[in-house]
Amino acid sequence: MSHIDRVILVVLDSVGIGELPDAAEYGDQGSDTLGNICQRVDLAVPALQSLGLGNIRPLRGVPPTPAPLASFGRMAEASPGKDSVTGHWEIAGVVLDRPFPTFPHGFPREVIDRFEREIGRGTLGNEVASGTEIIERLGDAHVASGKPIVYTSADSVFQIAAHEQVVPVPELYRMCEAAYRLVVDGLGVGRVIARPFVGPSGAYSRTPNRHDYAMPSPQPTLLDLLSDAGVPVIAIGKIADLFAGRGITRKLPTPSDDAGVDAVVAAMREEPEGFIFANLVDFDTQYGHRNQVRGYADNLERFDRRLPEIMSLLRDDDVLVITADHGNDPTTPSTDHSREYVPVLAVCGRGPTRADLGTRDTFADLGQTVAEIFGVGPLPHGTSFLKGVCL
């Protein structure tokens, strides 16, 4: 469809909209990120409401609008798992048939021993933990000993936390590269994540120098097909990390969601065509994993206040899509991701279509839609909903 020259896709990381039918298999029964937040907080998101967020399903305080500006629906995750890599890969057309391995009791001792030999020092932790909690608990021991803190979660991740004044960031990145060879190449783990922090004892805080080292997709993704066809792919936030830098024309790392929106706005002003793909991660890292309900709601409202800036830059040949990659309900005891549907709001720059996209069987429907727009498909998975967006 040559009349569409640009697609802007914004992933609100972890903003799920209700548990999937198999949520109990993941221990996530009752998880409902948006729904439960709305039950606890008087959420004010008029811009998202105008697009049709409340038309997807009942949300307290976010009623449906009779004339939404976007086509609206929700998507189920077909791949097993509930992590960011799996979610983003599925958005890009890759549906996994098995989950990445997880380590609920920590990594095998022989793996940790090899890692310690590689980096020339011991480690602390090697357990399932919340990142902020384990830094608070083991931070002093780390500062005193110089041993990095290793931990994992319900996701397939090997995370390494270190104080920037004890282990300089470049050295921490080298440690992550060593871990990548051992656990990603060796065990099939989805990601290694550098988690630098700063501050004095009792007031440690993580810095924006996080870096994700993700396994490359085993199959070509939408990004590969677009870049091979000469379509510019602009990766904002952690998108480049999640796709191991593959299929990307230009990457714009961002330290915060507000900076992420700034980058989206700048890219829309600078890039006349192509695929602008952004991830806003603070919903997940700053609020979901920390069970901060009010903070999560505040971040939704901050994004909502910025959304009109994005909308004002839409052209007749643009499509804007807002979605998520999994859930992370801050109202539940768990601090991990949750197995949820994700919302999808799609605006055709030529004007509102107000179509109900229903419940999609896979996130790959979104990738198939983008592939159809740019004429690089079909992808092996998914069904395009383009006709429901641009009638």
Does position 138 have pLDDT exceeding 80, yes or no? yes
1 lies in some domain? no
324 lies in some domain? yes
- Percent of the chain topping pLDDT 90: 96
Q: Give the C-alpha distances (Å, rounded to integers) separating 164 from 146, 202, 204, 285.
A: 11, 16, 11, 19
pTM greater than 0.85 (yes/no): yes
130 lies in some domain? yes
d(CA 123, CA 212): 20
Helix (H, G, I), strand (E, B) or coil at 270: helix
- Residue 207 is part of a domain; what is its CATH number? 3.30.70.1250
pLDDT at 352: 65
Q: Is the same domain home to 59 and 75?
A: yes
Contact between residue 17 and residue 340 where contact means Cβ atoms under 8 Å apart? yes
User: What pLDDT, in 10s, does the model give residues 32-42?
Assistant: 999 999 999 99
pLDDT at 2: 45
- Residue 299 is part of a domain; what is its CATH number? 3.40.720.10
User: What pLDDT, in 10s, does the model give residues 340-379?
Assistant: 999 999 999 866 667 999 999 999 999 999 999 999 989 9
pLDDT at 354: 76
pLDDT at 3: 84
* Segments of 86-237 assigned E as strands: 124-128, 149-152, 157-163, 191-198, 205-206, 211-214, 233-236
104 lies in some domain? no
- Provide the domain count of the chain: 2
User: What pLDDT, in 10s, does the model give residues 293-324?
Assistant: 999 999 999 999 999 999 999 999 999 999 99
Q: Which two tokens stand for residue 281?
A: 């991660």
Contact between residue 151 and residue 131 where contact means Cβ atoms under 8 Å apart? yes
Domain that residue 11 falls in: 6-97+215-388
Q: Is the same domain home to 203 and 226?
A: no
Q: How would residue 154 be classed by pLDDT, with cut points 50, 70 and 90?
A: confident
d(CA 332, CA 291): 7
Q: Is the same domain home to 336 and 248?
A: yes
Secondary element (H or E) of residue 73? strand 71-75
- First-residue to last-residue Cα distance in the chain: 11
Dihedral sign, Cα of residue 98, residue 102, residue 104, residue 108: positive
User: What pLDDT, in 10s, does the model give residues 161-206?
Assistant: 999 999 999 999 999 999 999 999 999 999 999 999 999 999 999 9
User: What pLDDT, in 10s, does the model give residues 217-242?
Assistant: 999 999 999 999 999 999 999 999 99
Secondary element (H or E) of residue 359? strand 356-360
Q: Which two tokens stand for residue 125?
A: 């932790």
Helix (H, G, I), strand (E, B) or coil at 196: strand
Mean pLDDT of 4-17: 97
Phi and psi, residue 136, nearest 5°:
-65, -40
User: What pLDDT, in 10s, does the model give residues 82-99?
Assistant: 999 999 999 999 999 999
User: What pLDDT, in 10s, does the model give residues 127-136?
Assistant: 999 999 999 9
Q: Is the same domain home to 252 and 352?
A: yes
d(CA 384, CA 367): 8
Q: Is the same domain home to 318 and 369?
A: yes
d(CA 141, CA 196): 15
Q: Which two tokens stand for residue 265?
A: 């706005």
Q: Is the same domain home to 380 and 275?
A: yes
Q: Is the same domain home to 200 and 223?
A: no
- Tell me the average pLDDT of the chain: 96
